[in-house]
């Protein structure tokens, strides 16, 4: 299973290398696999329950569900209320996580924030609370292993790229690879917000570069530009996720950057439900 493989992709006359963390496993892949690595190595008997919270189509949610199934741990996941349409879908990350045994608890919009902050106070030693998106210093070890694989690959490359949600992956990768530049973009909030999220985990090292995006996009919404880049990448031979990857690739191409190793963080399992939304906007493969 490890080290994950490497691919090449040709785009706009440029060659990029791709670290195929997406291929590590069906559901427990990408940077979520790296972030959960320490928990995966923990003896099953140490915990009996993992609690987390966040988005209803989150890639982290699906990875945690797959981990808990493997470890025979209960997985309690809190979200805001979901629509009847999403409830009835028999595809997408929520559906898949439910089939893996996740206990999904919906909270009223106005209770959500307080309830989630209170989760901390009702834990026992057999329960582990994982912050949204797996943003935890526990992620550092798994990402350090990724960094070592990158080093061992001996590519003639001194820069890697990975898009940021919580920024945990980009931050720990930069800390583990001081001799490389780590490029990222902020998908949730702006660069300032991303910096704050990162600083809550660790001081940001100088080799981490947050690229400014040329246009503001809302997270997890469908955009024609995203769809076009997704399709271009697919035509070039690799399927990427529709939430994070398009903005990272768009920015790399706009900045004219090359000689980069792109970390494929998976998330492709969420594409089916996103493509459904693109279809309703008249954008189809």
Ligand X SMILES: *Cc1c(COP(=O)(O)O)cnc(C)c1O
Binding residues vs ligand X (CB under 6 A): 30-31, 59-60, 133, 163-170, 241, 244, 265-267
- Min dist. Cβ of residue 142 to ligand X (A): 11
Q: What is the CA radius of gyration of the chain?
A: 18
Between residues 23 and 43, which has the closer beta carbon with respect to ligand X? 23
Between residues 251 and 265, which has the closer beta carbon with respect to ligand X? 265
- Min dist. Cβ of residue 245 to ligand X (A): 6
Between residues 168 and 176, which has the closer beta carbon with respect to ligand X? 168
Between residues 10 and 219, which has the closer beta carbon with respect to ligand X? 219
Between residues 128 and 246, which has the closer beta carbon with respect to ligand X? 246
Distance CA 5, CA 96 (A): 25
- Min dist. Cβ of residue 33 to ligand X (A): 10
* Residue 228 dihedral angles phi and psi, to the nearest 5°: -65, -40
- Min dist. Cβ of residue 224 to ligand X (A): 20
Report DSSP state, residue 186.
B
The DSSP code sequence of 2-26 is: -S--EEEEEETTEEEEEE-GGGS-S
Which residue number places its CB atom closest to ligand X? Answer: 267
- Min dist. Cβ of residue 22 to ligand X (A): 8
Report DSSP state, residue 268.
G
- Min dist. Cβ of residue 88 to ligand X (A): 24
Between residues 68 and 187, which has the closer beta carbon with respect to ligand X? 187
Distance CA 69, CA 37 (A): 15
Contacts 24+ apart (CB under 8 A), 215-224: 216/190, 217/187, 217/247, 219/165, 219/187, 219/188, 219/243, 220/55, 220/57, 220/274, 222/274, 222/277, 222/278, 222/281, 222/283, 224/281, 224/283
């Amino acid at each position: 299973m490890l080290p994950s493989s490497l691919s090449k992709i040709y785009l706009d006359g440029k060659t990029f290398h791709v670290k195929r963390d997406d291929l590590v496993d069906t559901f427990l892949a990408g940077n979520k696999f790296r972030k959960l690595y320490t928990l995966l190595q923990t003896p099953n008997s140490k915990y009996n329950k993992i609690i987390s919270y966040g988005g209803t189509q989150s890639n982290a949610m699906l990875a945690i569900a797959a981990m808990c199934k493997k470890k025979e741990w209960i997985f309690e996941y809190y979200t805001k209320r979901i629509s009847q349409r999403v409830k009835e879908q028999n595809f997408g990350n929520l559906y898949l996580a439910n089939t893996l045994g996740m206990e999904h608890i919906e909270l009223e919009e106005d209770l959500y924030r307080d309830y989630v902050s209170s989760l901390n106070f009702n834990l026992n030693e057999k329960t582990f609370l994982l912050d949204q998106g797996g943003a935890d210093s526990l992620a550092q070890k798994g990402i350090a292993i990724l960094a070592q694989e990158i080093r061992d690959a001996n590519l003639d490359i001194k820069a890697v790229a990975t898009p940021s949600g919580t920024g945990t992956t980009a931050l720990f990768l930069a800390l583990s690879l001081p001799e490389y530049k780590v490029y990222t973009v902020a998908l949730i909030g702006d660069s300032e917000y991303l910096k704050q999220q990162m600083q809550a985990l660790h001081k940001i090292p100088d080799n981490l570069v947050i690229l400014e995006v040329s246009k503001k996009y809302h997270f997890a919404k469908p955009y024609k530009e995203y769809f076009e880049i997704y399709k271009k990448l697919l035509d070039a031979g690799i399927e990427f996720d529709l939430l994070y990857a398009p903005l990272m690739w768009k920015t790399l191409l706009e900045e004219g950057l090359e000689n980069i190793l792109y970390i494929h963080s998976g998330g492709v399992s969420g594409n089916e439900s996103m493509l459904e939304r693109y279809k309703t906007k008249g954008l189809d493969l």
